[in-house]
Amino acid sequence: MIDRLKKRPYIFFILPGFLLYSLFVVYPIFSAFFTSLTEWSGIGPKSFVGFDNYIELFKNKQFFTQLTNALKHNLIIFALNTGVVLPVQIYMAYTIYNGIRGYRFFQSMIFAPQFISSTVIVFMGTLVLDMNIGIFNRILEWIGLTGWVRPWLGLPQYGIYIVWLLAAWAGVGVGMMFLVGAMKMIPEENMEAAIIDGAGYWRRLFSIILPQIRTTIFNLLILTYIFSMTSFDFSFLLGGVAGGINYSLDVMSLFFYRVAFGSDGEIGGTLDRNAMGMGTTIACVMFCFILIMALLQLYFSYRKSEVE
Amino acid sequence: MYRIKRKVTADSLILRIYSMFAAFILIYMTYNSFRPKADLLSNTLGIPRRLTLETYINLFTGSKFPYFILGSIIILVFSLALIVMLSSMVAYGIGRFNFRLRKGLLLYFLMGLMFPVQLGIVPIFLIIRSWGLLDTHTGVILVYAAGISMPVLLLTVFFQNLSRDIYESAKIDGASEWRIFQSIMFPMASPVIFSICIIMSVQIWNKFFMPLIFLQSEVKKTIPLGIMKYTQNLMYTVDIAMASSVIATVPILFAFFLFSRKILEGVAAGGVKG
């Protein structure tokens, strides 16, 4: 036994990490799927119910409205991240790539919120947007837009956009740096040739840079998608476990958290005896939405390597 | 890199306003943390009546905040140490030795990158509960320490590309496998390990979802969880919310600005590979 191990020293190196990783990362994934096929409160006996939880999730009106509402919010966040944050990231990355005066300072400042915990970011948001102590309303009054003064954090119709805004402010720097890294990989000759041909500042961005970094942009979109689909912190911090007034801040992760770990009885259905079963069911549905995108990415990178 | 000076007034102005905005909020928060509570609530934007260190003294003597700091530090230090140890060993095993399953094994370790934390959290919760580790730092540390996918990937690439000569000559000198790893290979990987430490520290330090589920009692909480309690009752604790947010934010940002060039280079390079 010892001899066989001596011949395979790698087993010594791999085993500890392998065990911990298998137990806390790989096993839970499969276990979650099996739990989703059972009716279980987390304590006491588990009973196998097949796909009943999935059927209930889609048939029970209470659950289904919450699911679609939460999913809608995730998709709004993704759409805004794609439509607004991505162009902003490209713009910022391009100015930094061009070595704008003070670009080191700018890139650090833009990236910095990444290092601030979401709790503090929400608090900073409160300092700006709160009805009583917020600066934003004071500024509006000061420039004469008194009609626009309102409790920004308290109005359901703005809720999900504020969640998005805070998350975007916190996360914009990472994608920006990815893009800067990709832009720097473009051969200098291409840029020089474009300049000699008389291509202007924006022309160079659209005809040379963007086509060359499209793989990075595509990967960034996938990451953004996963990030948008799993967003949790800001909704929870602003709206609590209930997801704000009328679920105005609700997202999939929060819906999941409410069902699996929240207090019983506020949602109805069979939750009091099925928190874990239904919770994992929601988590699996959530994962399916992510999987679709991950497979798409695999497919495209596979096709790309075929072409090349 | 080819750079041309263009008239950058507009771009520069936009970036300047954006950066100034972030700086302004930070400074505003820091400045307000030195003001007494009554002044903050009744006279938010007015001229300060007086500045004081009271809130900070309260925070450290009259609240649970020192526990939060301690909890965050314990969790960070131990999980980071475990992550570095386990992932470098795994990566060394996969990157250095040739065996049949190594490609499959690497893929197995990368699998973790694909799954959202919400998917596995219920079974993880059940394991931790059955071990009696709910509401302990140990439980959280174990779960964090298992998240080695990204470090394993980075370090495996590093060990694979390392020349075999050093390994062979150490082998001839009669050093044991463990000794070669511990005193030669591991130190050589220190630049990669440094960047792993930075990326993982930020993630672990700011994690919110896991501690929220695992840590319930007040004295076990981490800084982000603790601050949440203060920021949710602003009428009562606005002063403490300010001061604790400053303590949670300013030192880390300071460290970031010191190392920003290196950190941002790492992030930019990571994106190209990914």
Per-residue pLDDT of chain A (308 residues; tens, 9 = 90+): 666 666 788 888 999 999 999 999 999 999 999 999 988 887 778 888 888 889 989 998 888 999 999 999 999 999 999 999 999 999 999 999 988 888 889 999 999 998 899 999 999 998 888 877 788 888 888 888 888 888 888 888 888 999 999 999 998 998 999 999 999 888 888 888 888 888 888 888 888 889 989 888 988 998 899 899 999 999 999 988 888 888 999 999 999 998 888 764 444 445 667 888 899 999 999 999 998 888 887 788 777 766 55
pLDDT, position A25: 93
Q: List chain B residues with CB under 8 Å of A301.
A: none
- Does B124 lie in the same domain as B105? yes
Q: Which of these, B217, B173, B214, lies nearest to B68 by C-alpha position?
A: B217
From its phi and psi, is residue A297 left (phi > 0), alpha (psi between -120 and 50) or beta?
Answer: alpha
Distance from CA of B204 to the nearest CA of A (A): 10
**Alpha carbons A18 and B108: distance in angstroms, whole number:** 9
Residues 30-69 on B with a CB inside 8 Å of A are: 32, 40-41, 44-45
- Does B49 lie in the same domain as B81? no
Residue type, A125: G
DSSP-derived 3-state class of residue A38: strand
Is B253 close to A112, i.e. CB distance below 8 A? yes
In a domain, residue A110? The reply is yes
In a domain, residue B263? The reply is no
**Alpha carbons B224 and A116: distance in angstroms, whole number:** 10
Is A286 close to B114, i.e. CB distance below 8 A? no
End-to-end CA distance of chain B: 22
The pTM of the full predicted model, rounded to 2 decimals, is 0.88
Distance from CA of A90 to the nearest CA of B (A): 13
Q: List chain B residues with CB under 8 Å of A180.
A: 268
In a domain, residue A298? The reply is yes
Residue ranges making up the domain that contains B85: 64-232
A28: contact with B, CB 8 A cutoff: yes
pLDDT, position B274: 40
**Alpha carbons B88 and B95: distance in angstroms, whole number:** 10
pLDDT, position B101: 87
Distance from CA of B157 to the nearest CA of A (A): 15
Q: List chain B residues with CB under 8 Å of A287.
A: 115-116, 119
In a domain, residue B265? The reply is no
- Does B48 lie in the same domain as B85? no
Q: How confident is the model at residue B10 (pLDDT cuts 50, 70, 90)?
A: confident
In a domain, residue B260? The reply is no
In a domain, residue A22? The reply is no
The beta-carbon neighbor of B119 closest among A115, A116, A283 is A283
CB A107 within 8 A of CB A96: yes
In a domain, residue B24? The reply is yes
- Does B35 lie in the same domain as B136? no
pLDDT, position B7: 54
pLDDT, position A250: 92
> B236-250: per-residue pLDDT in tens?
888 888 999 999 898
Query: In CATH, what number is assigned to the domain containing residue A126?
Result: 1.10.3720.10
Dihedrals φ, ψ of A101, to 5°?
A: -55, 130
In a domain, residue B238? The reply is no
Q: Which of these, B139, B155, B136, B177, lies nearest to B86 by C-alpha position?
A: B155
Q: Which of A67-81, A111-125, B1-15, B152-166 has the lowest mean pLDDT?
A: B1-15
In a domain, residue B240? The reply is no
Task: Give residue for tokens 């219920």.
Answer: B122
Q: List chain A residues with CB under 8 Å of B29.
A: 123-124, 127
pLDDT, position A268: 47
Is B12 close to A102, i.e. CB distance below 8 A? yes
**Alpha carbons A229 and A78: distance in angstroms, whole number:** 8
> A39-92: per-residue pLDDT in tens?
888 777 888 888 888 998 999 888 899 999 999 999 999 999 999 999 999 999
The beta-carbon neighbor of A101 closest among B12, B18, B274 is B12
Residues 109-148 on B with a CB inside 8 Å of A are: 109, 111-112, 114-127, 142-143, 145-148
Query: How many C-beta atoms lie closer than 10 Å to residue A93's C-beta?
Result: 27
| Mutate which: B107, B109, B119, vs A, most A CBs within 10 A | B119
Residue ranges making up the domain that contains A111: 45-307
- Does B206 lie in the same domain as B141? yes
Query: In CATH, what number is assigned to the domain containing residue B95?
Result: 1.10.3720.10
- As a whole number, the mean pLDDT across chain B is 86
For B30, nearest residue in chain A (alpha carbons): A124
DSSP-derived 3-state class of residue A39: strand
Give the residues across from A47 on adjacent strands: A39
Q: What is the DSSP letter of B63?
A: S
pLDDT over 90 at B48, yes or no = no
Query: Considering its fold, how many domains does chain A have in total?
Result: 1
- Does B223 lie in the same domain as B97? yes
Q: How confident is the model at residue B44 (pLDDT cuts 50, 70, 90)?
A: low
Q: List chain B residues with CB under 8 Å of A151.
A: none
**Alpha carbons B127 and B133: distance in angstroms, whole number:** 9
Dihedrals φ, ψ of A47, to 5°?
A: -125, 135
CB B144 within 8 A of CB B204: yes
Q: List chain A residues with CB under 8 Å of B108.
A: 26
- Does B146 lie in the same domain as B78? yes
- Does B70 lie in the same domain as B29? no
In a domain, residue B242? The reply is no
**Alpha carbons B223 and B233: distance in angstroms, whole number:** 16
- Does B198 lie in the same domain as B170? yes
> B177-234: per-residue pLDDT in tens?
888 898 888 998 888 898 888 888 888 988 899 999 999 888 999 999 999 888 888 7
- Does B178 lie in the same domain as B99? yes
In a domain, residue A146? The reply is yes
Query: Considering its fold, how many domains does chain B have in total?
Result: 2
A9: contact with B, CB 8 A cutoff: yes
CB B123 within 8 A of CB B115: no
B22: contact with A, CB 8 A cutoff: yes
- Burial pattern A240-266, b for ≥16 Cβ within 10 A else e, equals eebbbeebbbbbbbbbbbbbbbbeeee
Is B122 close to A276, i.e. CB distance below 8 A? yes
- Does B220 lie in the same domain as B109? yes
Residue type, B195: S
For A10, nearest residue in chain B (alpha carbons): B93
Is B6 close to A124, i.e. CB distance below 8 A? no
Q: Beta strand A47-48 with A38-39: parallel, antiparallel or unpaired?
A: antiparallel
pLDDT, position B1: 44
Residue B57: alpha-carbon gap to chain centroid: 27
Query: How many C-beta atoms lie closer than 10 Å to residue A226's C-beta?
Result: 19
Q: List chain A residues with CB under 8 Å of B205.
A: 117
Is A135 close to B114, i.e. CB distance below 8 A? no
In a domain, residue B246? The reply is no
**Alpha carbons A97 and B262: distance in angstroms, whole number:** 17
Q: How confident is the model at residue B272 (pLDDT cuts 50, 70, 90)?
A: low
In a domain, residue A39? The reply is no
- Does B79 lie in the same domain as B180? yes
Q: Which of these, A274, A273, A276, lies nearest to A284 by C-alpha position?
A: A276
